[in-house]
Structure 1
């Protein structure tokens, strides 16, 4: 049994850069498309794999070790395998893009194994001020402790950007730009990939 070729898209970026909003807009344009969010793989305190920050009485949730990346990679691979072994659906309007998976998260390109699973990669950037202002409007569990953004969130975000800044296969985008335009551009890229 031969299925459709799976297309896996990475939407990454600094925390609060608009990844989830953009992903939802893209998904709405691609009937049958599925998403996996990296936030679903956060470890729960007091998991021993989490790094404590004693001076903040908090854990570091902004490093890769705060995520069960093995589980995430396994889930993506299972989806890809299922696509390759499933009879392609009829060309009905509600499942046209059921072979497309959008994987969204803030540390998407830190592992080579995950990077190699992605057919196209995007990264949203925002400034310190924009990121901080947006983060203040969000509720986290557990909630941010005073000083956590300045001491942990932003430095971790900048370090990750430095790690990937020379990756020529990542398309960097302005997270404060017009999301409708970004959505149309990415949807066009995805449709082109589906035709290959």
Structure 2
């Protein structure tokens, strides 16, 4: 009987399964400037490799614009704190997908799925073929990939994941990536970062909420931390695939 495994992404056929493996994939602090590493490179590559894949994007779970907290120091809207996100709805979406064998809730509509600048084209066909061979015995199973930036902050959401991955990236890389985007579609409109928004809001929040993953002495989070300063994109994808397979071997 096919099984369902959740990893952190979107879309899947109606296949009956008796187990869901939730795998969260998130990114933070120390990626090298010389490689255009993106979180979506990993998730979209897995989407090409796995036969049945669902992707859920945390960015689709922001609260309405008028409910985004205002930073008391800068008086700027803070889109990078946990309070800006609807974790209850995210948890319910993950649970629904598990209980319904890889089918997303009918009301779930993603804006992130239309973002095609994901870097997955940099992964060669030979690498994709090798990854498909790794999952050959799992071709009937369903994988749900959950892609986000503070996935593990809320305990009720973190508890949904059978496997967790965390990519660390440098200040310079994250700043360049953030400032290269023109803006973001929000629940009620469009947001453009004000000047110095990365240094005043994004980076401090990034460090604040992901500190335990960045401290090498803390191992209570159960996440595989992949340092992209030390790994190529291909190595990061292969490490992710192995982490998924290791999770499948667990009872």
TM-score (norm. length: structure 1): 0.83
Deviation (angstroms), 1:134 = 1.7
Give the unaligned 5+ runs of structure 2.
2-15, 32-36, 103-135, 185-190
Q: For residues 53 and 147 of structure 1, what CA distance do their matches in structure 2 show?
A: 14
- 1:122-154 deviations in Å (ceiling 9; x for gaps): 111111112111212123220111121101100
Q: For residues 132 and 69 of structure 1, what CA distance do their matches in structure 2 show?
A: 25
- 1:61-80 deviations in Å (ceiling 9; x for gaps): 00011111111100000111
* Number of the residue aligned with 2:84: 66
Q: Identify the match of residue 180 of structure 1 among 228, 231, 234.
A: 234
Deviation (angstroms), 1:57 = 5.9
Conserved in 2, the CA contact under 8 Å of 1:56 and 1:145? Answer: no
Deviation (angstroms), 1:54 = 7.1
- 1:8-50 deviations in Å (ceiling 9; x for gaps): 1110122896212211112211111111010011123123xx2
Q: For residues 90 and 192 of structure 2, what CA distance do their matches in structure 1 show?
A: 24
Coordinate RMSD, CA, aligned: 2.6
Deviation (angstroms), 1:168 = 4.3
Give the unaligned 5+ runs of structure 1.
85-92
Q: Which has the higher contact order (CA 8 A, sep 6+)?
A: 1
The residue correspondences of 1:25-104 to structure 2 (distance < 5 A) are: 25-47=45-67, 50-53=68-71, 58-83=76-101, 96=139, 98-104=141-147
Q: For residues 151 and 129 of structure 1, what CA distance do their matches in structure 2 show?
A: 15
Structure 1 171/188 Cα, relative in aligned 2: closer, same or farther at 3 Å? closer
* Number of the residue aligned with 1:87: none
Conserved in 2, the CA contact under 8 Å of 1:33 and 1:100? Answer: yes
Conserved in 2, the CA contact under 8 Å of 1:13 and 1:124? Answer: yes
* Number of the residue aligned with 1:193: 247
* Number of the residue aligned with 1:9: 23
Conserved in 1, the CA contact under 8 Å of 2:56 and 2:147? Answer: yes
